[in-house]
Chains A and B, each alone.
Chain A
Amino acid sequence: MSAGPTVGRRTISRRRLLLVAGAAGIGVAASPWSPKALAATDDDLAYANFGLASSFLLADYYGRALQAGRLGPAARPTLQRGRSASTLQARALSGLLTGAGDTPATAEDFEFVFPAASLATAAAIRRTGLTLLNATRGAYQSASATTSESSYRVLFASLAASVAEQVGALAPPGAGVESFPAALELETASAALEAYLG
């Protein structure tokens, strides 16, 4: 079993991390990880709300990319794993928000908009995906740096890492590696996704 992110002397598996955030919605998470015991700041909630919408958007994007079938059979597992990760991440963020006493959005609250050209060719599908993923990753990086609660920091850092993995998987063959991907202010990340969120 692979080790997960670490906080203090505690090692958290990815499964546990998702469970912690996901369980908040049904109130079963045990102390000291019970999100109900955590004080979420306005900024924490803002990043979580943005991340939740982004996760729904990414799941929708992956679904459309799979349906379009333009990336070829070799890319199918990447798209399927991306969709699965996005769905799990939405569940985790939804749990965080519920635990903080908010009513999280659902996918039905959005009418995602993908201009025809954004999915017209294999290159366009990759470009669109990378736009969504880079904005989301940048916001998660900022979130992990600014949140005051260590559990949230770990969650946001894990989300940033997962989305960065997806960036690597979706990048065209031979694409370079960014040494220091930029963290983004929420306002900037939000503006990048605005056209797709409807």
Chain B
Amino acid sequence: MRNRLTPLLAALLVGVTAVAGASARSEATPPLTIYAAASLTEVFRAFDGAQTYSFAGSNALETQIRNGAPADIFASAAPLNTQRLFRAGIVEKPVTFTANRLALIVPKSNPAGIRTIYDLRTKPVKLVVAAPAVPVGAYTLTVLRKMGLSSVLSKVVSRESDVKAVTGKVALGQADAGFVYVTDARPVSDQVTVVRIPAWAQPRVRYEIAVVARSTNKTAARAWINAILSPRGQTALRNAGFLPVPKSST
């Protein structure tokens, strides 16, 4: 009996300590407000569910922060957005924290019969992409240009405000194909099939993160950024399909 009670008591003790710890933490430091690229939705929430997030296209978030939105941290899917804010003195010096790749996704039913990206050229396709101002939209244009496939843009039926909107349209079968990050295809892998984009045509997708200069919680914001750069943070990103920080970016 005593042997069976000991683990139970130990578990209770750990639970009480954890609750007390979390409570003390929440009293000491309010949650950070993190503005992050839509493609980071799942991984950031899984990495740290205690913070307040706003996920959207990096260009929209950049505009909101520029206009005074109360963010502590900005994580962008393209250096362009963070660097513009850095040059304007709105964020501290950004750091690259992860990378990604693009993929073409088609619904599982694949009504247009897309097997390779080159099929976009020859088959009647309802293609959905993100708007050019959104990082994934700009990266899509790069891929098409690199592959000599810019002509397929005539088949675009919708330009979305962020990558999740593209993913959703394809997953729901409202479009025959769409360009997203490989990490966005994972959560809907039961609804979509990934068509690989060759490595030579991949754009240089780099994510940057920075503390917002007017944050009132800079110490905690910097600690959070250090956490995402730490081995634990990098493992979480890699497990979600993101790529390690390239050597050329460090």
Contact = CB atoms under 8 A, between A and B. Distances in A.
Interface of A: 41-43, 45-47, 49-50, 52-54, 102-103, 105-106, 108-110, 186-187, 190, 193-194, 197-198
A42 B200 contact: no
The 9 A-B pairs at the shortest CB distance, nearest first, are namely: A46-B148, A53-B200, A197-B199, A42-B148, A108-B248, A43-B148, A49-B146, A187-B118, A190-B198
Given A108-B246, A186-B148, A49 B199 contact: no
Contact of A194 (B199, B246, B247, B248): B199
B116 A42 contact: no
A53 to B, nearest CB: 3
B32 to A, nearest CB: 32
Interface of B: 116, 118, 145-151, 196, 198-202, 204, 246-248
A53 B199 contact: yes
Contacts of A43: 148
A109 B204 CA distance: 7
Specify which of B116, B147, B199, B204 lies most central, judged by the most chain A CB atoms within 10 Å of its CB: B199
Main secondary structure of the interface of A (DSSP, over half): helix
A46 B248 contact: no
Contacts of B118: 187
B146 A46 contact: yes
B246 A190 contact: no
Specify which of B145, B150, B151, B248 lies most central, judged by the most chain A CB atoms within 10 Å of its CB: B145
Nearest to A108: B248
B204 A197 contact: no
Contacts of B200: 49-50, 52-54, 105, 110, 190, 193, 197
Contacts of B246: 108-109
Contacts of A50: 198, 200-201
Contacts of A52: 200
B202 to A, nearest CB: 7
A135 B104 CA distance: 24
A192 to B, nearest CB: 11
A11 to B, nearest CB: 30
A41 B246 CA distance: 30
Nearest to A100: B145
B146 A45 contact: yes
Contacts of A110: 199-200
A58 to B, nearest CB: 13
A109 B145 contact: no
Contacts of A103: 204
A158 B218 CA distance: 57
B145 A102 contact: yes
23 contacts: A42-B149, A42-B150, A45-B146, A46-B146, A46-B149, A49-B146, A49-B200, A49-B201, A50-B198, A52-B200, A102-B145, A105-B200, A108-B246, A108-B247, A109-B246, A110-B199, A110-B200, A187-B116, A187-B118, A190-B198, A193-B200, A194-B198, A197-B200
Specify which of B148, B151, B201 lies most central, judged by the most chain A CB atoms within 10 Å of its CB: B148
A42 B198 contact: no
A173 B180 CA distance: 48
Nearest to B146: A49
B249 to A, nearest CB: 9
B20 to A, nearest CB: 46
Contacts of A187: 116, 118
A193 B148 CA distance: 18
A50 B199 CA distance: 9
Contact of A197 (B148, B149, B198): B198
